[in-house]
Amino acid sequence: MLLTADIGNTNITIGIYDGEELRYRARLHTNRKKTADEYAVDLYAMSRLNRFVADDINGAIVSSVVPEITGAFVQAINLFCNVESMVLGPGIKSGLNIRIDNPAQLGADLVAGAVAAVNHYELPCVVIDLGTATKISVLDEQGTYCGCSIAPGVRISLETLSASASQLPAINLDVPTCPAYGKNTVASMQAGIILGTACMLDGMCDRIEESLGQKIMSVVITGGHARGIIKHCKREHTFCPDLLLEGLRIIYNKNI
């Protein structure tokens, strides 16, 4: 089996593949202070919870946007299952044609998501990752990575709003019940953040079509904050929570 891990700023998402089938998935909190031993304990607990053994794993691939913990987590995988991890970065074949100013600067998470989209969805395609940051990647009809836009994530926007405005409280990201506005402070903030993000995504897709001069055939949405946002988007879309893990699986198979 193959262990895939995407290390993000908020969470580490882990998937265990048996061939092309994602058998198990788990999510750990990203903790920059943890040691390799501590992460290895987390992996062991995850395996017990999902009822598989470390000896079943014969390969591993990691993508990371948190370089300060990449080494510790790779070491933790080795401690857990005695497997050396492939780390997505320069020198790893992805099959993705990247046409940006400096392809080496493209985040590993964006590469993994784009690879999965090229292999599974109709092009041109927009890949939206609603995580710590809101990232919108553009793939043209040849599957070329054309670029992306990056905005503050939903949670960051909400926390900054509460911290910067004395009379606005810290609230949960519950889905608003009203169409576009609230009748109290909490509902108003929920409407602004959640519905505002959904409108932004629809509007950005419109502008991307104008820039490409082509109709977008697929909008693929992933990320930890996606579920509460996508039901308010007017554009047709596909929700794929395991998009990055699938991209890592594909990339691993290209390099063995």
Asked if residues 252 and 59 have their Cβ atoms less than 8 Å apart, the reply is yes
Distance CA 36, CA 209 (A): 45
Asked if residues 214 and 182 have their Cβ atoms less than 8 Å apart, the reply is no
Q: Choose, from 6, 42, 109, 129, the residue flagged as catalytic.
A: 109
Distance CA 43, CA 95 (A): 30
Q: Torsion angle of alpha carbons 138, 249, 244, 80, nearest 10°?
A: -150
Contact residues for 158 (Cβ-Cβ < 8 A; gap 6+): 171, 173, 189, 193
Residue 109 falls in the annotated catalytic set: yes
Q: Which residues belong to the active site?
A: 109
